[in-house]
Each structure stands twice: as structure tokens, then as C-alpha cells.
A and B are shown apart, each in its own frame.
Chain A
Amino acid sequence: MKRRNLALSIIAIALLLLFLIFADSSLDSYQKRILNLCAIYVILGLSMNLINGFTGLFSLGHAGFMAVGAYTTALLTMSPAIKEQTFYLEPIVAPLANLNMPFLPALLMAGILSAFVAFIIGAPVLRLKGDYLAIATLGFSEIIRIIFTNTQSITNGSLGLKSIPPHTNLWWSFGGAALTVIFMVFLIKSSYGKAFKAIREDEIAAESMGIGLFKHKMLSFVTGAFIAGVGGGLLGSLLGAINPNMFRFVLTFNVLLVIVLGGMGSITGTVISAFVVTSGLEYLRFLDETIDLGFIEIPGVAGLRMVVFALLLMMVVVFFRNGLMGTNEFSWDKLISFLKRKFPFKKEVGH
């Protein structure tokens, strides 16, 4: 059985690689961009699911962590010349002006800085519970955004950063997504992952079983923020331009949509749902834009796309409370037994 599963996994990975080679060489840049976005949303979704789905902390500060990651990566990878051009209103502070490094260390720095911010924020807010935690993390995320709008010489204020080197490609984004999935599977399977779930299930019981609530919540929060920071860095590099307004609560809402739709506490669910939601949001773009059918023009309605998505989210919450996967995960055994039930072999049926 184990061997069969291993073989199946290798085949699946090989297929994914083949697909990426194909996609990289034959898809147009718009299609590639959507695939990149999907993979980045896998990373972002998993990072939020760790905090909200697996540890049961209702944190709404994700946009803040992504902002920290995106700005860090951008500022560390932009060349001094571009930075000088970009910061025309007020020059960039000295140490940042000449700092320049390759993409990978910049992404790691993004993660580390974001994790550090989470650590500072977590110290006070992780003592709060439920709605209070949600609103306090949301508040901190807004504070980060407001600070970024006002620190002209570090972030270029509301003008934002442009001409961010476009390092993000399918290999980076899918590589990052794959690494995040593997990391999450290992983490959740480990004793710490189980401790996180115990906190989600019942804080008082978890504490009585010797699990330090604050320490473990902090670990989850900081780890999630690290991953979110890296995801933010990839996103910034993909988009090429960022400004503080991008990191409003809407961004957190999009990621929340992914994890709720996929199932809070399911890695598989988040992966599937990241692809469905991201490509869905792109696909539904036609709702906002004018469609020209040659003989007739159907005017698009700005905002309709988000109306549809908000409705979708509410319907999922009301009718399919557990999302796509609940807290279940994919396994070859489950898939095969499911297929067997759906398409029984003849010899098993005939008598």
C-alpha cells in the first residue's frame, strides 16, 4: 500500500512539473499571472489557516503581515538607481538606499521581519480571545498601513513603490507553494501541530494538559506571519507595484474567503480553494467589464464581481458550514476507496 502511494505521489509530482514546463513555455503572460496568483494564494491561505483554522485564533491582521513582506522584498531587491527615481518626493533613508540583495534572501528577510512584527503585536493581543482578538489584530493591521502611508522616506508613502523587479515566476510561486504545503503537513503532524489543534478544540482542557497557551499561540501566530510575509513578497514582485491602499482589510477578506471556502483546518481544502477562488475572481472579472459581442455591447457593472463573491461566501457559511473539506485531508487511500465506490469493478459487482 505504502509503495503504491509513493508511486502515485511521484507520478503526481512529475505531472505537476510537466505542467509547469508546459505552462512556462506556452501560456501567455495573463494566464501565467493567474497561475502565479493561485500559487501565491495557496501560500497566503495556508499561513492564515495555520493561525485561524488550526489554532482557532480569529486573527484578521493578515494584510498587515503581507504589507511588511511585500515592502521588505521590494525595497531589498530594487536597485539603488530605481529607488532614487521612485523616491522623488523625499529621498529614501541612507541604509536602505544602497541595500540590495537577491530574491531568495530578500524573501527570507520579508518572512523574518513579518514574523518579528507578529511577535511584537502578539505579545499584547494574544491574551485576548475571540472577537476581541479579531478586532485588535484588524486594528494593528490598519496601524501598519497607516504607518506605511506616513513614513515617506522608508516606504515612499501613499505613492507606493513601482518598478519592483519581477522575480516571481511560476517556479518561484509554485516552488513556494509546494514548500509551504510540505512544511504545513509536517508541522500539523508534529506534536506542536496537535497542540495547536488542542487549543482550537478547548483552551481550558489544553492548558490543563500542560500546553502553555500563550507560547503555543505565539508560535502559531509568528509562523503564520512568516509565511504570510514571504507570500506578500512574492505577490509584490509579481504585481510590480505596491502601495499602502492595497493592504486594506479587503485583502484579508480575500484570504479569509479562501480558507472558509476550503475548510478551516484543512490543508487540502486551502490548496483547492486558492485555485478556485483566485481563478474564479479573475474569471468573473467580466462582470465588472464591458463585454463586446460584436453586434451588442453589454456594459459591465463595477463591483458586481465582489457582490457575487460576498454572496458566495455567505452561502458557503450558511449552507456548507465546513467548507469544501471540513478538517479532512487528501490521501491516496481515501481517493481510491472513493473511486471504487463510485465506479465499482465488474468482478466485484457481478454475481
Chain B
Amino acid sequence: MFFQDMTFELFMQHLTNGISLGSLYALIAIGYTMVYGILRLINFAHGEIFMMSLYFAFYGVAMFAMPWYVAFIVTIILTCLMGMLVERAAYKTLRDSPRITVMVSAIGASFFLQNLAVVLFGGRPKAFPTVGLFTDVLKIGTVSLQRLTLMIPIATMVFLWGLLYLVNKTKTGMAMRAVSKDHETARLMGVDVNRTITITFAVGSILAALGGIMWGMKFPQIQPTMGVMPGLKAFIAAVLGGIGNIHGAVIGGFLLGIGEILLVAFLPELTGYRDAFAFIMLIAILLLKPTGIMGEKISEKV
């Protein structure tokens, strides 16, 4: 059957690829999940924020000839600022509006950024600069991998540890958790709700930028529409894990990344349906357990 060509080496290669893709989904998914947790809305523009980060990095290294570490830091700062700007323009003005209105605005913001990228950077794909330190090929036994493939999951774990520290151990994190429970109560307890929301967007965008930089090195072709699919898939990962839950987003990201790679590896005739896999997972989870793997039930008060 289809296992006959599958050697152990090949399987390990696919698995590590799946894990690193899953890590990237997880990093982007955290942005969705944090914003959803705090505002109960899907930040449709998150995929575009991710896309923008790739262009920032590209221009930093390729155009302004910055050393990669400087370029990456600048990228993170710019992406973070952009995330906060999007929050200001598309969400803050609509804080008390019906959800459908906010969602339309979010979709508008997403299209705005996508087309702005076409205007600013052109529609044609560009090649993301390679950084030898990350992209060189590594041989472990008979398995050959880019260094990056191993670095991505490790880096993700480090970022995740930092995030969990921020959310669980700091005052800002406490404010975030309070706001996600109830805006009004948080306000009464002296939490600056607007500031907390802005910080949430900033943190989500920083993670998107980190994911973006690593994505660019792993799949070095960037174009303005590239944020759509990873964005949607990361969102699906967030739903899969239970939206609003950071651990859930990570689990969902890994499930999706590994599942997708292994599907194509084992059933190559389904390669064309690779993108459909995520959507089928989404619909399956929504039907079986709409609150996701780690989610809690939210019921409406009558």
C-alpha cells in the first residue's frame, strides 16, 4: 500500500516538518485566541499582520541591508505597532457595536492591508532573504534537515514560555485575564480596559511577527495574499484547541500542521486537497465539540 515507500528516515523528515509547520500555526493561532478571549471577536486582519511582518523583514534585510538580527528586531517593533494601529482603527471605535458590524470592519481591515501591500510592495512574489545560520542543511544520521526545522519548535517553546509567564505571573497578564472575564467588572476593579486590549493586540502581533520571520525562512516566497491561508489555518487551529485558550491554540496548531504534512506524505494523490484538510477539521470540530479540545462552555443568559 502507500507505506511501502515510506522509510523511517522519510517519516522522521515529514514528522519534523509537520512539527515545525505546526509551531508556526501555533504562534499565529495564539494571536487569534488572545484577541478572541478578550474581545470575543475574530481578528480577521491577523493573517495580514503576519503577511506585513514578512515584508518588513524582507525590506530590512534586502533593501536596507541591515544585519538580520537588527532587521528582525525592527520587524517585530513595526509589526507590533501595526497591530496596535489596526486595533485603534478597526475595533476601538466599534467597541459597543453589534458583533456583525465589528466583523465587517475586521474583514474590511484585512482587505485594506492586503491591497495596501499590493500598492506598496507590488503583487509579484519576492524571495525572502536566507540567513545561513538558520537555513543551512543539517544531517542527523540519515535524516537531512534545515537547521530551521529543529530551531522553530524550540524557539516556539521559548516564546510560549515567555507568553505564559506574561499572562500568568505579571500584573499585565492579570489585567488581561480579568478583562477576558468581564470588561465592566475589570473596569470597576481599576483595570485600564482599553490599554489591556491594546497590549493584547501588541502581544499577538509580536508573536505573528516571530512566526512570520520563521515562516519566511522556511517558505522563502512572499506575496500580499500569503497571509490568507496561514491566517485561516491558524484560526482553525485556535478553534480546534478551544478558542480563547492559549494551550489549546498550541495543541491545535500542532495537530493541524502535523496532520496536514502527514496527509500529503501518506496520500500523495490528495495533495490538491491539502488546504481543504484544515477546513474539514474545522467543520468536524465545530460539529463534534464546538468549544474545541480545551474549551469551556459559554451559555447565553435567558
Contact = CB atoms under 8 A, between A and B. Distances in A.
A139 B279 contact: yes
B188 interface: no
B105 A314 contact: yes
B282 A136 contact: yes
Nearest to B120: A303
Interface string A292-306: 000000000111111
Contacts of A94: none
Interface of B: 41-42, 89-90, 93-94, 97, 99-101, 103-105, 107-109, 111-112, 114-119, 122-123, 224, 228, 232, 235-236, 239, 272-273, 275-276, 279-280, 282-283, 286-287, 290, 300, 302
A311 interface: yes
Interface stretch (A146-154, A163-171, A183-191): A146-154
Given A136-B282, A143-B279, A150-B273, A130 B99 contact: yes
A69 B290 CA distance: 30
A306 B290 CA distance: 35
A318 B275 contact: no
8 contacts: A127-B287, A131-B103, A143-B276, A147-B276, A302-B119, A306-B111, A306-B114, A310-B111
A121 B105 CA distance: 26
Nearest to A322: B101
A317 interface: yes
Contact of A146 (B94, B114, B117, B276): B276
Interface in A98-129: 124-125, 127-128
Interface residues of A, number: 44
A286 interface: no
Contacts of B286: 124-125, 128, 132, 136
A132 B283 CA distance: 10
Contacts of A128: 286, 290
B100 A264 contact: yes
Nearest 7 A/B pairs, CB to CB? A303-B118, A310-B112, A139-B279, A306-B115, A150-B272, A314-B108, A310-B111
Contacts of B101: 317, 321
A299 to B, nearest CB: 12
A33 to B, nearest CB: 23
B283 A139 contact: yes
A289 interface: no
Contacts of A150: 272-273
B112 A311 contact: yes
B118 A302 contact: yes
A135 B300 contact: no
B272 A146 contact: yes
A256 B104 contact: yes
A124 B287 contact: yes
A253 B107 contact: yes
A314 B89 contact: yes
B104 A131 contact: no
Contacts of B94: 317-318
A79 to B, nearest CB: 29
Nearest to A146: B276
A314 B112 contact: yes
A52 B228 CA distance: 23
A307 B273 contact: no
B300 A204 contact: yes
Nearest to B271: A150
A131 B302 CA distance: 20
A204 B301 CA distance: 10
Nearest to B111: A310
Contacts of B235: 135
A140 interface: yes
Given A139-B279, A306-B115, A310-B112, A134 B103 contact: yes
A249 interface: yes
Contact of A302 (B100, B123, B228, B279): B123
Nearest to B102: A317
A56 to B, nearest CB: 8
A313 interface: yes
Contact of B119 (A142, A147, A304): A304
B276 A142 contact: yes
Interface in A295-351: 301-307, 309-311, 313-314, 317-318, 321
Contacts of A132: 239, 286, 290
